[in-house]
Amino acid sequence: MTLTSNLKLKYSNLWESMTHHKFVLELGKGSLPENVFKNYFLQDYVFVNDLVTVASQGIAKAPNLNSASIFNNFLVGILDPENDLFLRFFKELGASEDDYSSAKASPTTQAFGDFLVRTSLEGTFDDIAMILYVTEGTYLDWGNRLLIEKANPNNAVYKEWIDLHGPNVLGELVNWLEDHLNSKSKISEKRAEYLFQTALRYEYLFWEAAYNNESWFNG
């Protein structure tokens, strides 16, 4: 078995919990409370800044021009186009400019972002490929599944969010990351397991935090 196949098998329960979280199931049915999606989307808006750092470090540490190009395409895709998407969705969700411009990271968003940024700054290109494989691979998993199931929520924002995480958008990147990790990377099994499991745990907790409107304890 390949490295990624082994990891997905070993942590299959965790992968399943993330990709079949009630947030995802209700998103597909259109029954997800809009305030829950708004909470999630505000945190995702904050989180994207850390994802930009990860992608930038991937370009800087890429072993060749082709690898750098893959990460550059990913970075370009989460800059202007994604920012336009955020602003349009915020308007449709009734989030004011003050809501999103003053949004602060929740405890989970802060911890997840810190983990990703630290890994990208201190780690290798292979480390970056592994954490991105989890962040993008899990989203492709649930997005593709909902598309296959012909999920058609009666909410334009939910429908577009599902469409944006299908194979037409994420397939090429995830396939490239998988191939790199399985055939070209020099990452150790121990390191791969740590990064895979930790990123996967945070992805699950990100759903939980949004669903439960997590906030900082202030005494």
- Band of the pLDDT at 79, cuts 50, 70, 90? confident
pTM score over 0.95:
yes
The tens digit of pLDDT for each residue in 131-161 reads 999 999 999 999 999 999 999 999 999 999 9
- Band of the pLDDT at 219, cuts 50, 70, 90? confident
Domains of the chain: 3-211 (1.20.910.10)
Helix (H) or strand (E) holding 140: helix 125-148
Q: Please give the pLDDT value at position 138.
A: 99
Question: 26 near 32, Cβ under 8 Å?
Answer: yes
Opening angle at CA 152, ends 147 and 153, nearest 5: 125
Q: Please give the pLDDT value at position 80.
A: 74
pLDDT at residue 194 is higher than 80: yes
Of residues 87, 84, 82, 93, the one with CA closest to residue 157: 93
- The Cα 182–Cα 167 span in angstroms is 20
- The Cα 154–Cα 135 span in angstroms is 27
Question: 42 near 87, Cβ under 8 Å?
Answer: no
CA dihedral (185, 187, 189, 192) in degrees, to 10, reads -100
- The Cα 20–Cα 18 span in angstroms is 6
pLDDT at residue 65 is higher than 80: yes
